[in-house]
Amino acid sequence: MRILITAGPTREAIDPVRFLSNRSSGKMGYCLARVAARRGHGVTLVSGPVALRPPEGVTFVPVTSALEMLAAVKRHLPRCDALIMAAAVADWRPRNVSPQKLKKATASRVLCLVPTPDILASLRSKKGRRIFIGFAAETERLLAEAHRKLRDKNLDLIVANDVSRRDAGFEVDTNRVTLVDASGRVQALPLMTKMKVAARILDWLEACGLSARVLQRSAE
């Protein structure tokens, strides 16, 4: 398969030296890219700024902001069979980016934020037969939020991730996730390394790709 994977945070500029971002390390997305490439898939990795080296054998597309990530995903999606959005895209960006470094003369400052585009939701019309996988990093109502996002973003699978636990989610090498697919199947996985979580997600994707191909053939 040709798999497009996004990873890491995005950075939303405030001025030439400051930005808004989040705690994503990019580890989950990079593990997915590494495992997928090792299994012989064609991998394009669109990554926000992280401290990781791109895995060997992947096409690497570095981006900074949510708008840049959206443009890169739109550019590469037509040649891909599946999209895995593991990136923690910033939800807001400053309305205005100051061309000069802001002075700290005033005691307080109000930043006006505008929403960034939802990359997955904005690709609805371009999905076609492609398989879309998203992540839901939540601190409460994990499964309810995962089901809502699966539906709202027109996904085939969502990887629900409780990020309120120290040993799972942001920055660490382990994760505890629940896979929820569009047919309603819920699979809670125990705490495991992100490499193993990546392998389970790719197992699901490969099985899904295979059955889609079988269905396509039987319809021909």
Q: Say whether residue 209 binds ligand C5P (CB under 6 A).
A: no
- Amino acid symbol at 128: G
User: Chain centroid to CA 211: how far?
Assistant: 24
Q: Say whether residue 119 binds ligand C5P (CB under 6 A).
A: yes
Tell me the C-alpha distance between 117 and 62, whole Å.
Answer: 19
Q: If you ran DSSP here, which 8-state letter would residue 95 be given? A: S
| Binder of ligand C5P out of 24, 44, 65, 116 (CB under 6 A) | 116
Tell the smallest beta-carbon distance from residue 34 to ligand C5P (Å): 18
22 is an active site residue: yes
Tell me the C-alpha distance between 36 and 51, whole Å.
Answer: 20
| Binder of ligand C5P out of 29, 54, 55, 134 (CB under 6 A) | 134
Q: Which is nearer to ligand C5P, 96 or 122 (CB)?
A: 122
Stretch touching ligand C5P by CB under 6 A, among 31-39, 118-126, 160-168, 204-212: 118-126
Q: Say whether residue 118 binds ligand C5P (CB under 6 A).
A: yes
| Binder of ligand C5P out of 149, 161, 198, 201 (CB under 6 A) | 149
Spell out the residues 6+ positions from residue 55 whose beta carbon is closer than 8 angstroms to its own: 30, 33, 34, 37, 43, 45
| Binder of ligand C5P out of 33, 87, 180, 202 (CB under 6 A) | 87
Q: Which is nearer to ligand C5P, 88 or 109 (CB)?
A: 88
Helices assigned H by DSSP within the chain: 27-38, 66-76, 119-122, 142-152, 194-219
User: Where is 18: in which H helix or E strand?
Assistant: strand 18-20
Contact 27, 54 (CB under 8 A): no
Count CB neighbours of 136 within 10 A: 24
- Amino acid symbol at 110: V
User: Where is 13: in which H helix or E strand?
Assistant: strand 12-15
Stretch touching ligand C5P by CB under 6 A, among 81-89, 105-113, 165-173, 196-204: 81-89
Site map for ligand C5P, 20-59, x if CB under 6 A? ----------------------------------------
Say which residue the tokens 């809670």 belong to.
Answer: 188
Q: Say whether residue 7 binds ligand C5P (CB under 6 A).
A: no
Query: Can you give the binding site for ligand C5P, defined by CB under 6 A?
Result: 66, 85, 87, 89, 91, 116, 118-120, 134-136, 149, 153
Active-site positions read: 22
